[in-house]
Amino acid sequence: MTDTHDRRPRDAPRAESAGAQDAGSGEPRTPVFEPPHFFPHPEPPRPGYFRIAWGPSVGRGVRARIRGHTCECLPTIYELLAIGGLVHIRRTERTPRGERVRESPWVRTAQGLALWAALLEGRAR
- The answer to whether 119 and 111 have CB atoms below 8 angstroms apart is no
Q: CB–CB of 42/120 below 8 Å?
A: yes
For 48-100, the pLDDT digits (tens) are: 999 999 999 887 767 889 999 999 989 999 999 999 899 999 999 999 999 99
Are 115 and 68 in contact by the 8 Å Cβ rule? The answer is no
**Range ranked top by mean pLDDT from 3-7, 23-27, 59-63:** 59-63
